[in-house]
Each structure stands twice: as structure tokens, then as C-alpha cells.
A and B are shown apart, each in its own frame.
Chain A
Amino acid sequence: MNAIYILWLRELKRYIRSRTQIAASLGQPLLYLLALGFGLGPIFQKSGHGSYLQFIAPGVIAMTVLFTSIFSGVSLLWDRQFGFLKETLVAPVSRITIMIGRTLGGATVAMIQGVLVIVVCLIAGFRPVNLAAVPFAFVFMILIAIVFGALGTAIGSVLQDMQGFQLIMNFLVLPIFFLSGALFPLANLPKALGIVTSIDPLSYGVDGLRGSLIGLSHFGPAIDVAVLCILAAIFFGIGSFLFSRIQL
């Protein structure tokens, strides 16, 4: 228990101390929000879907949580490189404990980033439709953070070097984001794209967030929660397994 806490605290301290990183990581969501939100806004409005800023704000929040949590998982690679991983792996605590501490730490950091982006969205003019449903948005953020934090750990356990990291970024993280419906409605898509989006785990996170924040849901909140919970369990299982097999 203490071990989980101290590893959680470590992730948090590392996050708080990297101020330039915090600032940099807020830049990207801001860009999406402003460039797309206001740039595509008029066309979106004309097609009869209402405000695009309102529409993509939940998507941008989901994106932030996705990126932060997956990177915190993959940061295993840095720990491996700078040697700290050895210190934890040779300690008399089980690998699963280490994995839980890391994942919870990463999830907490992702939540903080997500909340910061919510604030940015509010400043940009985003307004949640139903304040009573906002707490559910946090539930979805936590679920996204755990699903992708665990996925990140799984990947970080297998990867050996930085080249692999770039590969993951381009061929996994970006597709997950772009194919999730964060930027476009899931209704009336071409069939192939519709199938792909329904396989993308983030689709359910974005959908859940959109449901809680602007009352618009494609799959329905019950399915969103169910899918995310199941995936969280599966990815956590895979992540733990791969993490437990790391050899130095």
C-alpha cells in the first residue's frame, strides 16, 4: 500500500516539476480548439450540427487525457534508460504493486491535464449543457486514463528503444485519436470508417464525455462505461503480464 502511494507520489512530483512540459502539453489542445473550433465552426454550423467548438471540446479533453496517460505508461522507457527501473524491479515489492502505483500516478497526472484543458475550453467559450452531468465527465476521464495508461505500460514493457517510441506515436496514438470521433460525428459515416471507429477504444471515451458535457451520445452512456471498464481490465491484465516479464 505504501509502495503504491510512494510511486504515485513520484509520478506527481515529476509532473509538477516539469513546468515547461505542462505549458507545452496545453499548446496542442489549444491549437485544435481554436484552429478547428473556430476555423471549421461556420461550415459545421451551416450543415445544421450547431456549434463546432461545443462539439470538439469533449474530443480535445479526451485527446489530452489519451496523450498524457499513454505517455506516462511509455515513460517506462525513460526509466529503463536512466536506470531508475532497476531500483524498483529489485525492490522487495511485487511487480503488480509497481504497475498499480505507476498507472494510478499516470492517471492522476492525466486527470490534472484534462482539468486544465477543461478550463482552457471554458475560457474559449465552451459551455457544458447540463452542470449536473459534469461529474460523469470525470468518470469517463478516469476510465480513459486507466485504459491508455495500462496500454502505455504494456507498450513500454516491450519496447527497447526510442525508435520504437516514434513508431508507436505515428501508428498507434495518432490513429486512435483521429479515428475516435473526437473531431467528427459518428453518425452517417462511410461503412468502413464506421467499423473502424467502433473498434477504437477512445471512441467510447469521447462519446461518454460528449454525452456528459453536451448531452450528445452515439453509443449511449451505459455501453460507453461497459466497454471502457472491460478494456481497462483487459489492458491492465496485459500490461501487468508484460511488465512482470521485463528482464534487465
Chain B
Amino acid sequence: MIRAQDLVKTFGEFTAVDSISFHVERGEIFAFLGPNGAGKTTTIKMLTTLLKPTSGRVELDGLNPAVQQNEARQRFGIVFQDPSLDSELTAYENMDLHGVLYHVPRKVRIERIERLLKLFELWERRKDRIKQFSGGMKRRLEIARGLLHTPKILFLDEPTLGLDPQSRNQLWTHVKNLNESEQVTVFLTTHYMDEADRVADRIAVIDHGRIVAQGSPAELKRQTESDSLEQAFLALTGSSIRDESAGSADQLRQFTKMWKR
């Protein structure tokens, strides 16, 4: 379903992604793990048409996203690391807007929005504006929205960041169920190893832009002779702390926070 072949992305002198190859089977839940700055988000951006690879190939459901951009976009849903809802619109309006942008016919749209909002327990709040939503509700809505156009692949970039254990638990239950009921392939990144251990069929560990290990959670644990995936992860990537400089978006966010007070 997803295939990356010798994928490279350089920004000037810096090599963010250094010739990685992997493939994700149809219906699989694939976790992409790595420390901060390892190249996870850059990889997701290349897979989802937001960034052109410096070299190498990507294939999504048989399509080349760099060339057949819109066809490829129609086939995946994505939940970004940061929120991407319009907070002045209601939950329903956010869904509807997405449906129109993804060419979902009106009748199907109405049915599917209702089904997904009910599934994610947001139907009662459909007429509320997003600014009144909690972090967990926003994330659920984003996943529901990402599935509205019945994509074949769902990309989740650190979907549980900043959520409480209850919301995280509920969110993964939903993802697991959807993976089964809608046959959707899931490509996710997370920093929580227990989550990856719980939901992922297969895992790739990326560090310094290179894939250092690939396999099922059990295989990775066996390879590193660890009891938990957390230990396996540390064994593979070392335990030194990676500092990432804040991007412009983060700086902007800090700046407005300063003014709001």
C-alpha cells in the first residue's frame, strides 16, 4: 500500500532523511518511531505530497504522489502533529468543508459525517464550535475528518501528543476498530512506546534519518533482548537527548500566547 525506495531529503547541507526504504502492507498498522529530529515528520511530508523528495521513490496505492498529486491525496487521510481545524466553525461544518474539498457527494457526505461523528462520540456536540472543544475531542474530530472521504491510508503524526491517558486509550481503540471495520491502512508516529506496542503490527525505528530496525514489536524486543519496546527503542537509538530548534510555527505560537495574556 505504501512503498518508499531509497528516499532522501536534504535541506542544504543537512540530510534529514538518508536513503530509507520500507513498505507497508494493505490493512496493516505501521508505526514509525524515532527520537525528535530523526526525520519522522519529514518522511510523512514526503509520503503525503507536502514535500518533494530530493531523490528516491514513493508509491501510495500504486500512485506516485509527486506526479499524480490529487489522485494520491484523495486516497489518504492525515492527522497532523498540530491541530488543523477551523476553531470558529462547528464540528459539523469542519467535517462538511472537508467533505466538499475531497469531492464527497452530498448524500454520502451527510450519511458518513453522521456515522463518523457518532462513532467518535461527537454527534451531540456537532453544533458546537471547535474553540469549545477539549484537546481529546479535537483529535477525535480530526481523525473522523481524516476518514470522511473513505481513504485507503490514514496518516497519524503523533496523534496522542498532549492527551490524557483516558483519551489516548479511547483514541487507539477507535483506530484499531477502524483499521478492522474500514480496512484502512494506518501509518503512525508516536513517542509513546506502549502505544506502538499495543496497536502496531509492524514498526520501523528511524534515527538520524536512517532506519535502524524494522519488524514486529516482538521481533524488535527479541533483537535487542529487551522486555519492553521502550527498552528496545533506547537500545536502538541510544539514550542521549536530542534537541530540536523551535520552528517558525512554534515561535509564532509562543508570540501570540504572550500577547493574549
Q: Which residues of A contact B (CB under 8 A)?
A: 2-3, 5-7, 10, 13-14, 17-18, 80-94, 160-163, 247-248
Inter-chain contacts of A17 with B (CB < 8 A): 88, 129
Convert B215-255 into 0s and 1s, putting 1 for each residue whose CB lies closer than 8 angstroms to a CB of A: 00000000000000000000000000000000011011101
B interface: dominant SS? helix
Q: Are A83 and B83 in contact (CB under 8 A)?
A: yes
In angstroms, Cα B259 to Cα A5, docked, is 34
B97 at the interface (CB under 8 A from A): yes
Stretch of B19-27, B66-74, B118-126, B203-211 at the chain-chain interface: B66-74
Task: Determine the distance from Cα of A143 to Cα of B103 in the docked complex, in whole angstroms.
Answer: 31
Nearest CB of B to A225, in Å: 34
Assess whether B255 is in contact with A14, with CB atoms less than 8 Å apart.
no
A83: chain B residues at CB < 8 Å are 80, 82-85
Whether B83 contacts A6 by the Cβ 8 Å rule is: no
**Beta-carbon nearest neighbor of A101 in chain B:** B101
With A92-B73, A248-B45 as contacts: A80 and B98 at CB distance below 8 Å: no
Bound Cα distance A17, B88 (Å): 8
- B188 CB, min distance to chain A CBs, angstroms: 17
CB-based contact A93/B101 at 8 Å: yes
> Are A92 and B101 CB-contacts (below 8 A) given A81-B249, A162-B255, A247-B51?
yes
Given the interface pairs A83-B85, A161-B255, the reply to whether A90 lies near B100 with Cβ below 8 Å is no
Instruction: Show 27 A/B contacts (Cβ-Cβ < 8 Å), sorted by A.
Output: A2-B100, A3-B101, A6-B96, A6-B97, A6-B100, A10-B89, A10-B93, A13-B88, A13-B89, A14-B89, A82-B83, A82-B86, A82-B87, A83-B83, A83-B84, A84-B86, A87-B85, A87-B98, A90-B48, A90-B73, A90-B78, A91-B98, A92-B74, A160-B252, A162-B252, A162-B255, A163-B255
Nearest 5 A/B pairs, CB to CB: A83-B84, A91-B101, A92-B70, A92-B73, A6-B100
Instruction: Determine whether B212 belongs to the interface, using a CB cutoff of 8 Å to chain A.
Output: no
| Bound-complex Cα distance A37 to B101 (A) | 47
- B110 at the A/B interface (Cβ < 8 Å)? no
- Please, how many angstroms separate the alpha-carbon atoms of A125 and B44 in the complex? 60
Mark B157-182 against chain A: 1 for CB-CB distance below 8 A, else 0: 00000000000000000000000000
**A-B contact number at CB 8 A:** 87
Cα(A18)–Cα(B86), bound, Å:
14
* Contacts from B to A (Cβ < 8 Å): 45, 48-51, 69-71, 73-74, 78, 80, 82-89, 93, 96-98, 100-103, 129, 248-249, 251-253, 255-256, 259
List A contacts of B252 (CB < 8 A).
Answer: 81, 160-162
* B253 and A90 contact, CB distance less than 8 A: no
Q: For B101, give its contact among A6, A13, A160, A248 (CB under 8 Å).
A: A6
B112 shortest CB reach to chain A, Å:
16
- Residue pair B88, A81 in contact (C-beta under 8 Å): no
Inside 8 A of B89's CB, which chain A residues have their CB? 10, 13-14
- Residue of A17, A83, A88 with highest tally of chain B CB at under 10 A: A83
What is the distance, in angstroms, from B61's C-beta to the closest C-beta of chain A?
14
Taking a contact as CB atoms under 8 Å apart, the answer to whether B70 and A89 are in contact is: no
Look across to chain A and name the residue whose beta carbon is closest to the beta carbon of B49. Answer: A90
Q: A84-B85, A247-B51, A248-B45 are known contacts; what are 14 more A-B pairs with Cβ within 8 Å?
A: A2-B100, A6-B100, A7-B97, A13-B93, A14-B86, A14-B89, A17-B88, A18-B88, A81-B253, A84-B84, A91-B101, A93-B101, A161-B251, A248-B51
User: Known contacts A80-B249, A161-B248; is A88 also within 8 Å of B101 by CB?
Assistant: yes
Within the complex, the shortest CB–CB distance from A159 to chain B, in Å, comes to 10
Residues of B within 8 A of A163 (CB): 255
A93 CA to B102 CA in the complex, in Å?
8
Chain B contacts for A18, CB-based, 8 A: 88
CA distance A142 to B256 in the complex (A): 32
